[in-house]
Amino acid sequence: MRSDTKPITSHLTSRRSALVWFRDDLRLGDNPTLTAALTSGLPVTALYIFDDATPGPRALGAASRWWLAQSLKSLAADCTKIGLPFAVRRGSAKTMVAEAAEEAGAEAAFWSRRYSADLSNIDAAVEEELSAKGVRVESFNASLLREPWEVKAKTGGPLKVFSPYWRAANTMGEPAAPLPRPKKADVIAGPTLGGVEIEALGLEPTTPDWAGSLREVWTPGETGAVEAVERFLEEGLKGYAENRDRPDMEATSRMSPRLRFGEVSPRQLWHAVERAKEEGMATSRDVEKFRTELGWREFSYHLLHHFPDLSTRNFQERFDAFPWSPPKPEHRRAWRKGLTGYPIVDAGMRQLWTTGWLHNRVRMIVASFLIKDLLIDWRDGEDWFWDTLVDADHANNAASWQWVAGSGADAAPYFRVFNPTLQGQKFDPNGDYVRAFVPELSKLPAKWIHMPWEAPGEVMRAAGVTLGKTYPEPIVDHYVARDRALAAFAKLKAAS
Ligand code: FAD
């Protein structure tokens, strides 16, 4: 049952509490689900379930698992601070939520909606189970500016092109102001449930513990998110419109994992950037551009809602006939490890491996390289990103890979092939981004850093670079590969 607008009142006397089931909304602030439970007048008990038992949903990737563990620890600590009992359990959501509701004596269960079909199917099954036991279910939108089904074409159907989508979304008025973060005085504590330690979920790597570099870069959890938002408003938002394509600058918000796990809400960000503008910390153009990027996230969810197989099937069916190469293991390995011989591609893939995050411009470059230069199916790359990104997202990852492949809605045309050398020169003009992640090239001057194979012998010697020894030769010739990709596309066009 959807009920954002319906006041919640309790008429039952035999049951006594409200159960809040946290999922991808791991925060207390601007959480409509939690606020509704707390204002219901019922004592409240909170729960998180790590469900690796229900068959169907895609298992979280390794980097996301690490993030989730940290974010849960942070949420647990925050719940304790406001006196809200919080338990973590592991198992099938359908069984676990019903059991927890029974134990807590819950007359109502509250949760935030999820939008990928496999997860919303689970939610529907849980709702059925609870309803059969007389437990009321209330669900809310805690992660999008607009519900994916609310924005419609004039004909009532889905919008497949971003600009009209975003125009239509913007005619629906300003997103509501964020809700305040609940305080201790707002909580009537419900029963404390037994649960498992977060460490016992086995979400974090042990042998080897590869997460050291993630720990250095990130502080997951709502407190870390609030600090990161403030830092972005003070240091990153001004100039965002101009600099957001520059991987060598700290010019974007890095909010993606926070949005993915719901440590921050899009409407908090929507309103925060306006506040920053009023305080003179950004221009209207910066604010507009940033909000448009939030719009791309909304659009991805709109697509996922209308096309649930977005991560596995070509949005444009004609791409089903695309003649992908069987992936050459050595090419795939070189791409994953950042050893392709193209410096901007290698810097990107190493940034991804060490930090779990990658700049948007570089995501496009490395994706184009895999799909078009190596002719490897976009789903192969989508899968690697799913495993290695801390922000791996059901909607954004699939929609973006299909965008680069040309198989998606409102996608880049397949014939637009990113030239990794020119992209590097344009968006990392001094080579600082490459130097940060490909240290073996750090002594090369800016002029040659994006094309070491062209550098004169004495420059290479002075920089200590020997191709094929200290740094790889390019694994493909970009111009040959580009022609091969265009020929494959021409075949597809002829066939469709
Ligand atoms: P900012 O520029 O600060 O933007 C603010 C927010 O807007 C982001 O956090 C994100 O939620 C949203 N956003 C920005 N750009 C896009 C975009 N192009 N599409 C959709 N939403 C966007 N984003 C993910 O969140 N998860 C993914 O798994 C993911 N996979 C991608 C795969 C490929 C091949 C490509 C090309 C892009 C992918 N993106 C993904 C989109 C985008 O690259 C990231 O959202 C962005 O780089 C995150 O950095 P940021 O938070 O600093 O972005």
pLDDT digits (tens, 9 = 90+) for 378-399: 999 999 999 999 999 999 999 9
- Determine if residue 256 is labeled as part of a ligand binding site: yes
DSSP bridge partners of 20: 46, 110
The average pLDDT across 39-60 equals 96
Q: Which two tokens mark 197?
A: 């330690």
The burial class, CB within 10 Å (0-12 / 13-18 / 19+), for 85 is: buried
What is the model's pLDDT at position 14?
Answer: 58
Give me the residue label for tokens 């949903």.
Answer: 57
pLDDT of residue 7 exceeding 60? no
CB 142 within 8 A of CB 33: yes
- Give the pLDDT band (50/70/90) at residue 208: confident
Q: Determine whether 170 is an active site residue.
A: no
- Give the pLDDT band (50/70/90) at residue 5: very low
Q: Which two tokens mark 437?
A: 């992640």
Q: Determine whether 353 is an active site residue.
A: no
- Ligand 1 centroid to Cα of residue 394, in Å, is 12
CB 84 within 8 A of CB 43: no
Q: Determine whether 149 is an active site residue.
A: no
Model pLDDT for residues 264-288, shown as the tens digit of each residue: 999 999 999 999 999 999 999 999 9
Q: Which residues contact 439 (CB under 8 A, 6 or more apart)?
A: none
Distance of alpha carbon 85 from alpha carbon 93, whole angstroms: 19
Exactly one of 66, 111, 353, 378 is catalytic; name it. Answer: 378
239-242's contacts with Cβ under 8 Å and 24+ in sequence apart are: 239/286, 240/282, 240/286, 240/289, 240/290, 241/283, 241/285, 241/286, 241/288, 241/289, 241/290
What is the model's pLDDT at position 356?
Answer: 97
- Ligand 1 centroid to Cα of residue 91, in Å, is 31
Output the CA angle 217-398-112, nearest 5 degrees: 75
| CB-defined site of ligand 1, < 6 Å | 244, 252-256, 259-260, 293-294, 296-297, 300, 360, 363-364, 367, 385, 389, 391-393, 396-397, 400-401, 404
Q: Determine whether 227 is an active site residue.
A: no
- Ligand 1 centroid to Cα of residue 107, in Å, is 39
How many CA within 13 A on the CB side of residue 361? Answer: 22
pLDDT of residue 4 exceeding 70? no
DSSP bridge partners of 44: 18, 189
Query: What is the phi/psi pair of residue 47, to 5°?
Result: -145, 145
- Determine if residue 391 is labeled as part of a ligand binding site: yes
Q: Determine whether 324 is an active site residue.
A: yes
pLDDT of residue 1 exceeding 50? no
- Determine if residue 249 is labeled as part of a ligand binding site: no
From residue 317, give the alpha-carbon distance in Å to each of 36, 70, 312, 496: 43, 40, 12, 10
- Determine if residue 153 is labeled as part of a ligand binding site: no
- Ligand 1 centroid to Cα of residue 80, in Å, is 32
Peptide bond into 208 cis (omega under 30): yes
Take atom 49 of ligand 1 and give the residue whose Cα is closest. 254
Take atom 25 of ligand 1 and give the residue whose Cα is closest. 256
- Ligand 1 centroid to Cα of residue 256, in Å, is 6
Ligand 1 pocket: which of 165, 396, 404 to mutate (most atoms within 8 A of CB): 396
What is the model's pLDDT at position 3?
Answer: 44
Distance of alpha carbon 193 from alpha carbon 104, whole angstroms: 7
Spacing of C-alpha 44 from chain mean position: 30
- Ligand 1 centroid to Cα of residue 259, in Å, is 10
Model pLDDT for residues 71-109, shown as the tens digit of each residue: 999 999 999 999 999 999 999 999 999 999 999 999 999
Q: How far apart are the first and last CA of the chain?
A: 43
Distance of alpha carbon 390 from alpha carbon 39, whole angstroms: 33
- Determine if residue 416 is labeled as part of a ligand binding site: no
Model pLDDT for residues 292-327, shown as the tens digit of each residue: 999 999 999 999 999 999 999 999 999 999 988 887
Q: Determine whether 210 is an active site residue.
A: no
Exactly one of 170, 243, 324, 453 is catalytic; name it. Answer: 324
CB 23 within 8 A of CB 115: no
pLDDT of residue 416 exceeding 90? no
Take atom 2 of ligand 1 and give the residue whose Cα is closest. 252
- Ligand 1 centroid to Cα of residue 360, in Å, is 6
What is the model's pLDDT at position 492?
Answer: 84
Exactly one of 210, 296, 419, 453 is catalytic; name it. Answer: 296
- Which H, E and C letters describe the chain, residue by residue? CECCCCCCCCCCCCCCEEEEEECCCCCCCCCHHHHHHHCCCCCEEEEEEECCCCCCCCCCCHHHHHHHHHHHHHHHHHHHHCCCCEEEEECCHHHHHHHHHHHHCEEEEEEECCCCHHHHHHHHHHHHHHHHCCCEEEEECCCCCCCCCCCCCCCCCCCCCHHHHHHHHHCCCCCCCCCCCCCHHHCCECCCCCCCCHHHHCCCCCCCCCCHHHHHHCCCCHHHHHHHHHHHHHHCCCCHHHHCCCCCCCCCCCCHHHHHCCCCCHHHHHHHHHHHHHCCCCCHHHHHHHHHHHHHHHHHHHHHHHCCCCCCCCCCHHHHHCCCCCCCHHHHHHHHHCCCCCHHHHHHHHHHHHHCCCCHHHHHHHHHHHHHHCCCCHHHHHHHHHHHCCCCCHHHHHHHHHHHHCCCCCCCCCCCCCCHHHHHHHHCCCCHHHHHHCHHHCCCCHHHHCCHHHCCHHHHHHHCCCECCCECCCCCCHHHHHHHHHHHHHHHHHHC
Model pLDDT for residues 318-362, shown as the tens digit of each residue: 999 998 888 789 999 999 999 999 999 999 999 999 999 999 999
- Determine if residue 392 is labeled as part of a ligand binding site: yes
Name the average pLDDT for the chain: 95
Exactly one of 401, 403, 440, 448 is catalytic; name it. Answer: 401
Ligand 1 pocket: which of 304, 391, 403 to mutate (most atoms within 8 A of CB): 391
